A and B are shown apart, each in its own frame.
Chain A
Amino acid sequence: MELIINTSESVPIFSQLIEQIKNAVAKGDINLGDALPSVRQLANDLDLNHNTVAKAYKHLIRDSIIESKGYRGTFIHKDAKANCNFDLNEVVTTKLTDTIKTLRDTGATDSEIRIAFANVLKNQNNPGA
């Protein structure tokens, strides 16, 4: 199986990586439990920054598509096939759309929603501040 990254596309490179790996798992091109190339190997092969590949792997670990087994490397998660269908971005977008609709219905302006959203996010990230 091969990965193809297009640097002229508007889609971020790490998203292209995530999508292709998810598609490969969904189609069965990679088997559950298969080993993945190391971040360094993949980054050098695709001539990318190591952080870009590491970011893609981190997202995939969070979504339980892949799992890290320490020094042994990174592997396809045993539940990867089921987890591939779960799109966190879609969940976030749906929830936000509903919330924004509710807020607009109460009369809040877009500017007020934006400021409130930024403040809540800021407070959540720095609870003591």
Chain B
Amino acid sequence: MARTLSSGQEAERVKDGVKGVWMVVAVLDQYGAATTTKRWASRPYTLSSNTYEGIIAEGGIDLGMLSVKEQGGLGPVATATIRLRDEDAESTITDTHVISNDEVYVYFIFPTGSEVEGDRIEVFRGIIERNNTRNNVWTLRIKDDSKAELKQIPSKLLDPVTYPFAYSLGAVIPEAFGNHNETPDDISAGDIVSLAPARMIDKFALKAIASEHQLVGTDYVYQWYPQAEKFAQIVNASITNRVITLDDPARITFARPSRTYPGNGYTNWYDCIPPGNSSYVSIDSNNLRVWFSGLPKIGTMTSASLYIKSSTGVYEWYLYDTTVSDVSPIASSTTAAGNVTYLLTLADYEDWSSIANLHLEIRDRSPFPETRIEEASIKIEFDDFLSLVEQEPEIYQTMQGWLDSSAFYKDGSAVVGGGGSVLRNPVYILEALLRGKNLNNLEEGKIDSTSFTAAASSRTDWYFDFVMREQVSDQFLDSFCFEAGLMLFTTAGKFHCSAMDKDRTPEHFFLGGYHMPVVGSIDNPMAQQYDLEIEPINASDIYNEIAIRYAIHPATGVPQKASIASGQFRLTGTANTLEISATLTDASATFQTDDVLVGEHVYVSGDKLYTVQSIVSETVLTLTALDGGAVTTLVSATYYIGPNLNDSAFVSQLAYKSVNALGGNRQRTFIDDGGYISQFIRDESTADAFKDHCLEWFSQPRDRITFSLMHDGIRVQPGDFLFIDHPKFKASQRARQITETAEAVDAVETEIDVTTGEAGLLRVNDYIYLQESNSSPPELMQISAVDSVNSRITVNRAQCGTKAQTFSSGANIYQLTQKFVVLGVQEMTPDDTRIRIEAQIVPRWYKPIGTVVSAGYPNYAAATDVQRAASGWGTLPNGRVNELDPDSAISYAG
């Protein structure tokens, strides 16, 4: 978020001629005595009755660049150097004070005559790393110590005093975030088991704890049996004050269908495996026949029963034991309806392995209504006394982790409102990671709540569900922020958070010819140059094969799901596509022979991405557009088909002539060990959002720019979004002149008449700027209404830090569509009053509509490339002139 200045300082900021004072305040301490505050400035200065000695030497303030990571994560540590004139022996304070690790603050202020200390603008904060005196100059080396405040987390361990009977002394008590409440006995189709691991804290009293900060609710406890690769519910476990007591040996587990028995008539027989009623087998004239899986002995069996779940219809069931007969059932019913439980003879199956001899047959019966078999299983009740366990039993609990309670933070209030909720938004979780008592234990005052709140609004549809079962360092925050698409950095003693969200509203607007100082002598205009460096991203920093493997199994640690965007295709050809029938027709194709599947992706070159809705014939497919739009009618278009084909990844791989996998480990098949394994994501929508985020931000070309700003850029901070227009930018990055004012505009009116017939070229929410002359301040406006009939636009004035100006009739109106994100800021110093900015373009967010064909253009065949690009109809359906060049989408017609 942009830095907020006091009203007096903000009034000065936008002036061309200002005064400026740089101040350094050091709070130095000595053993057992009060601290001494030293105040130095770039000139003798008094502020709020405090005297600042003007002994900062020439070149005396050297501030490093405060940066954030372009791919998200925790920003690196910044450094600074302060040099003070030492003729009056200022440095002798080191005789009496231990200045190492003492705090130093660097401020800037615009003196107004009435300024106070509260007006100071903090531009750097750090601690003294070392100091030296030489040639009458006392030099202080300052470093940002914010990372030193980050701890190994979670911090609470199983110490031998508090937990003398724990199995794993020294291990951490886990900390869980998000939802972990999908048990193996109630998961829905397509979902996966999600439980939170617990640590045994007393091996004799059989007590365990999964999180001391979970939401207290009705939860269930499970034990993982590695030898069976099975969870079993600990039936009579109790949870009091978040401590699990599991001294009752009773357990329940299930043997479920594992394969079909000859005569089975359903290909979706597996839909009766998951518990619950979200998946089912609809019984018709065919029979459902399945084997049950066997289990190794994991306890003393006390009961075994057949369980069939059916909420609809009537049926017959027959249970066979193959050691008895595959023809004569050991039990059956020809009048079943609803759920069925049938108790087996315990003596026949208490050896456990005999369960594998059972197979079940289900038949529809008269009057043959729709019948659904939702679950079929053998319920096994057994005792596990844990009497011989030498290793820590693997205990798991359903829960919702990290309750947002003010009591769980070092100080202050809950993260969200009055608290009481379970945090799943990664931004909220990040704040909890910083403030939680058992975590980094930082004061609420060290969190920039404004930026965190803004970032959270960009991540409302992202959910993180994870467990910390080992101690981690600040690198954990790096991974966390990367997966959440967040930039985290510290400035002014606070952690700031910025979301990499292309739809964010920019905080600033800068114009190359107005806000950016030139390079070259001020008194030699002929030698002046633009201070702008443009550097495309390194080829190796492009990621265009994204395979997110997520939903880690709580016990095995293996990711159970994947979300993949690949540039790889398996079929290609030339086809005609037709909007009215939503078909793709390739007379040379053999789609059925090639086993094209419903759901496979189809990328039509220059157009967009589709999924196969049906395979009509060997040569015809019906398509559904992923963007929800219609199928584009095209002739002789090249198409590509692949199971995980993605247009962005495909185009990027063609353009860059290489495949770079996220995580450096390309996944060639679903089951290999490639792909990027997420530690935090469990749900499908977040995995897809992260995949799309990676594609948007990392698969496409992106330019990094470096430039300078004058003093009015002092509000800029890392992570901020900018609108910039610069004459040296590529055409696709520049603002475009759309129309002109048709009246003189004062500094307050919000309705502006534009050239007759051209208001419709703009639309609501567009950002536009006007500038009266090259040396006058530009003003950014946002359109709130467009009146095409009267050629009038309604605007919100003075956006993004600009001030309302007056404009003559005929002033050009420029439309801005390219945003930039600030990656680094180097503040101005007395010796260099330029503010250095590193920024990178933000993925395209503006989706142009309409047509901008200008009268008098020649037809397509006769037009030049420039005219084709400008006309709109000369481009590919995706708006690009060149398919492989995202920057060629400069026609602004979709």
Whether chains A and B associate is: no
Q: Measuring CB to CB, which residues of chain A are less than 8 angstroms from any residue of chain B?
A: none
